[in-house]
Structure 1
Amino acid sequence: MAFGRAPRTSHTTTTGTTTRHHADRRGVFHPILSLSNILVWLSSVIVLGISAYEIRQFKKYAGSDSYPGDRLVYILVIAVLTVAFFLLAFLLHPRPSYTLLFNLIFSYLWLVSVVFAAESYSSRYVPSIWHALEAFTFIAFFGLLFNILYTWWQWHRAAPRTTTVV
């Protein structure tokens, strides 16, 4: 039980006339959640690279004092925050409530990024790199949506159940 982690096997606690069944909670490693977190992190790294490149190209050709636009800057900031803070998601695995809150916050931020990317870069006449930016924002958002559903299910399953013994 190091660092407050739950035991790896399920067990039953009996006190008086009530019996509590604790769901099977794994310790640190959740392979499905880890793969989804890696997918989200890699997508945000790709979005970070593409949006930083586009801002650099814009400033290069439009002038160094020109502003590339709020939407692209917002997408870049969310990608930077995700790359920086999403590494904590690997440490928060044993605590589904913190992971759920963390994923909820980032999913709403990425939802706005998806909307901005879909409105700005869905035209046929934009470069293909912008379509890649849009695609990877979708991947990051849907990965976070999966994380929310999975951690909610895990949190719900790990809640103690109380039954009365007659």
Structure 2
Amino acid sequence: MRQSKLTALVLLVNRFLQWSSAVIVVGLTSYFLHKGLRGQHSKYIEIIATTSIVFFLPAFISMFIPGEISFLVMAIDVIYSYLWLIAFVFAAEDYNWHHNCRNIPSGATCSKKYAQEAFIFLTFFFTLMGIGLEFWSYRVNNRTTTTPAPIHEKPRRDLETGPGAGGPPLDAPAEPTAHHL
């Protein structure tokens, strides 16, 4: 059964939001690094965001070529969901320690730090959603449209009726019951 248009649309929107959130995180983190605002975990976030942009690309293909690529995409999503969760925890730790956003990296505005933290969470969320949607898409694509053929057993000789069949006629009881004796 071919993938429905609704399934493909939902998956495409999720993949676009996932990928674009990672691109925004790369932009914000690169800005911090370019300005010399190297926080405790800025390099980790930059590496995860940059590699995500590349590794999320096969997900755009998986909705058009379902099958084995879905397993590869789900594996990438599982791995990166953990990496993005760690990046979110690092960003929350860096920017929200004692409710002071002026912590590491110092010199950047709080709004940029909070924007980075928000887009890190969105990337994590859309990656997590991607796992479920990819599995759903795989299931939709691999359903069979035909029902299995019924199993026909060879009729038993003692139950056949008709001339020379040797069994009781169809309108007669198969076994005599106690009230007929």
User: Normalization by structure 1: what TM-score?
Assistant: 0.70
Superposed CA offset, 1:110-133 (max 9, x none): 111111112111243212211111
1 or 2, which has the higher strand percentage?
A: 1
Partners of 2:46 and 2:137 lie apart in 1 by 31
Match of 1:142?
125
Identical columns (%)? 32
CA contact (8 A) 2:55 2:76 kept: no
Partners of 1:92 and 1:112 lie apart in 2 by 26
Match of 1:80?
50
Q: How do 1:1-166 and structure 2 match up within 5 A? A: 10=1, 24-25=2-3, 30-58=8-36, 68-93=38-63, 94-95=65-66, 96-123=70-97, 124-126=99-101, 127-160=110-143, 165-166=150-151
TM-superposed CA distance for 1:77, in Å, is 0.6
User: Normalization by structure 2: what TM-score?
Assistant: 0.65
After superposition, the Cα gap between the structure-2 partners of 1:163 and 1:70, relative to the gap in structure 1 and judged at 3 Å, is: farther
TM-superposed CA distance for 1:71, in Å, is 1.1
Question: What is the number of equivalent residue pairs in this alignment?
Answer: 135
SS in structure 2 of the partner of residue 30 of structure 1: helix
TM-superposed CA distance for 1:35, in Å, is 0.8
Aligned AA for 1:55? L
More deviation, 154-163/142-151: 154-163
RMSD, aligned α-carbons: 2.4
Superposed CA offset, 1:102-151 (max 9, x none): 21122121111111112111243212211111000010010011111111
TM-superposed CA distance for 1:40, in Å, is 1.1
Partners of 1:115 and 1:165 lie apart in 2 by 56
TM-superposed CA distance for 1:87, in Å, is 2.1
Partners of 1:157 and 1:104 lie apart in 2 by 20
Task: Mark the runs of 5 or more structure 1 residues left unpaired by the alignment.
Answer: 1-9, 11-23, 60-67
Q: Name the larger-Rg structure.
A: 2
CA contact (8 A) 1:92 1:99 kept: yes
Partners of 1:85 and 1:109 lie apart in 2 by 13
SS in structure 1 of the partner of residue 35 of structure 2: helix
